[in-house]
Structure 1
Amino acid sequence: MPEKYTTSYPAKRIHSDGRAEDVKVLLAKECPVKLFLNGKLFTTLFASPLELKELAVGHLITEGVISFREIENVEVDGRAVHILIRKENQEISTEAAGKIGKAEKAEKEEETSKEIFVDSDSVFEPQAIFAGTEYLESDTYKLTRGTHLAALIDRRGKLAVQIVDVGRHNAVDKAVGAAFLKGLDLSQHYMLSTGRQPAYMVTKAARAGITLIATKSMPFDSGVEAAKKANVCLIGQLRKESMLVFAGEWRVKL
């Protein structure tokens, strides 16, 4: 299925010895996805053109807009997703209202991250976490070198959900959306990610009830502090031979 995520483009390859040649390379596709809530445009996301229902559901949950039980219906129409929710007494934000500056967004995230606490006593065997290294690369990434991946792994180390997207935020949103649509208990799964983990990324996962995040990259210091406040285990530099645990060490059962 990688062909659905990619498109071929011409380019000129120039070598260090002066040679030049015309080539065709595969690039990752990106498209605008409009998300409507109760008939009103809420936001436009730029993402890979698949799993749009999962993207919309996961985005609303990880951004703290609604809970899954408030969703009554989800329909995909081309590159638009229409969601009907039960929020008659609350004003639904519009696309314009969602456009805030980076500084304001960072301040808002710092305030909300203090309130998020994952109330779960789930722990994971190290072997289940190391098993995640088998799912860190996708065929689409090998072809394009331009995508991120998010996956959900259960406590036995078995793959439950694996999602590819051009954005690390979108990949997490889609994985969370897929989990809720499948009825998975996220407290019994950990999130595997190829992306770096600043506070914003950790907070998205924590809002969904995820207790452990493992990434092949290194987290930011803000991500570590957010994980500590949210009672989330944060693992960086996940390799087959070792991992670095930065927060919530007790969730890794030694």
Structure 2
Amino acid sequence: MPERYTIPYPARRIHSDGRAEDTKVLLAREVPVKLFLDGKAFTTLFTSPFELKELAVGHLITEGVISYGEIAGVEVEGNDVHILTRKESRTLRDEATMAQIFVDSDAVFDPEAIFTGTDHLESETYKLTRGTHLAALINRNGKLAAHIVDIGRHNAVDKVVGTAFLQGLDISQHYMLSTGRQPAYMITKAARAGIPFVATKAMPFDSGVEAAKKANMCLVGQLRPESMLVFANEWRIKNNKIKR
């Protein structure tokens, strides 16, 4: 139900010919969500007010704070999310280690499975508000496995990653759809989760392309029903049906 992500607000529409009228529009809702790690305040995220457990789990994974196996429990209290860890399994992560992110997956995808993703690139919430992003996971058969809407492209990625881990999906055998631009930061978040392939209807930055190359990830931009631009690791797309 996309309506739960929205709230009606009054506005005054002024036309170029001088006409004016009162109206109501639907705006995307935003709330602050506080994350606590082992009882200590960790960060505050501004997000759509749903899938908060998924947000917390995905954020910690994609930011390289902890792995999923180090999470002992997640509790949601209002807009506060408390994450408990197995402290004995916590590992220290320094910048040198995080700089060497490499997606260890042999997954390849049929072009048809990728083009099928265009069916999921626009949500009903976006149509109502023009103010949201989405992220989705598609398996190698082109089947939708997870679909998340949020006001932020980063939050959408965190939530879809959290959903995958909480549901036990093998994320290394899925590709991720995104409606957002792909700088290095976005690619790195996906790489930390083990996602081998990112496709966006937008475009990457040069930093995103270089990050994808180093991380062993395929990166596609301008995904459309009729074409796509491949920027990195094209070997992840089966070429037996691609005409050159």
What's the TM-score once normalised by structure 2's chain length? 0.94
1:246 match: secondary structure: strand
1:152 match: secondary structure: strand
Aligned to 1:74: 74
Aligned to 2:12: 12
1:199 to 184, 192, 196: 184
1:184 match: secondary structure: coil
Report deviation, 1:173: 0.1
Aligned to 2:144: 159
Question: Cα RMSD between the aligned structures?
Answer: 1.7
Tell me the alpha carbon deviations over residues 203-242 of structure 1, each in whole angstroms, 9 at most, x when there is no partner: 0000000000000001000000000000000000000000
Q: Is 1:86 matched up with 2:71?
A: no
Q: Is 1:46 matched up with 2:37?
A: no
**Does the CA-based 8 Å contact 2:103-2:216 persist in structure 1?**
yes
Q: Distance in 2 between matches of 1:112 and 1:200?
A: 16
Q: Distance in 2 between matches of 1:248 and 1:63?
A: 23
Report deviation, 1:114: 3.6
Aligned-partner residue type, residue 26 of structure 1: L
Q: Distance in 2 between matches of 1:170 and 1:52?
A: 10
Tell me the alpha carbon deviations over residues 58-110 of structure 1, each in whole angstroms, 9 at most, x when there is no partner: 00000000000000111110001111102259799xxxxxxxxxxxxxxx98x
Q: Is 1:132 matched up with 2:132?
A: no
Q: Is 1:228 matched up with 2:213?
A: yes
Q: Is 1:63 matched up with 2:48?
A: no
Aligned-partner residue type, residue 174 of structure 2: H
* Runs (4+) off by over 3 Å: 88-92, 111-114
Aligned to 1:247: 232
Identity of aligned residues (%): 77
2:164 to 167, 171, 179: 179
**Does the CA-based 8 Å contact 1:113-1:229 persist in structure 2?**
no
Q: Distance in 2 between matches of 1:113 and 1:83?
A: 22
Shift of the 28–211 alpha-carbon distance from structure 1 to 2, 3 Å rule, reads: same
Q: Distance in 2 between matches of 1:199 and 1:3?
A: 33
Alignment of 1:84-123 (within 5 A): 84-87=84-87, 114-123=99-108
Q: Distance in 2 between matches of 1:162 and 1:221?
A: 27
Unaligned segments of structure 1, at least 5 residues: 93-107
**Does the CA-based 8 Å contact 1:113-1:226 persist in structure 2?**
no
Tell me the alpha carbon deviations over residues 124-155 of structure 1, each in whole angstroms, 9 at most, x when there is no partner: 00000000000000000000000000000000
Report deviation, 1:5: 0.5
Shift of the 215–91 alpha-carbon distance from structure 1 to 2, 3 Å rule, reads: closer
Q: Is 1:218 matched up with 2:237?
A: no
Alignment of 1:135-146 (within 5 A): 135-146=120-131
2:106 match: secondary structure: coil
Shift of the 171–89 alpha-carbon distance from structure 1 to 2, 3 Å rule, reads: closer
Report deviation, 1:112: 6.3
**Does the CA-based 8 Å contact 1:147-1:166 persist in structure 2?**
yes
Q: Distance in 2 between matches of 1:91 and 1:242?
A: 43
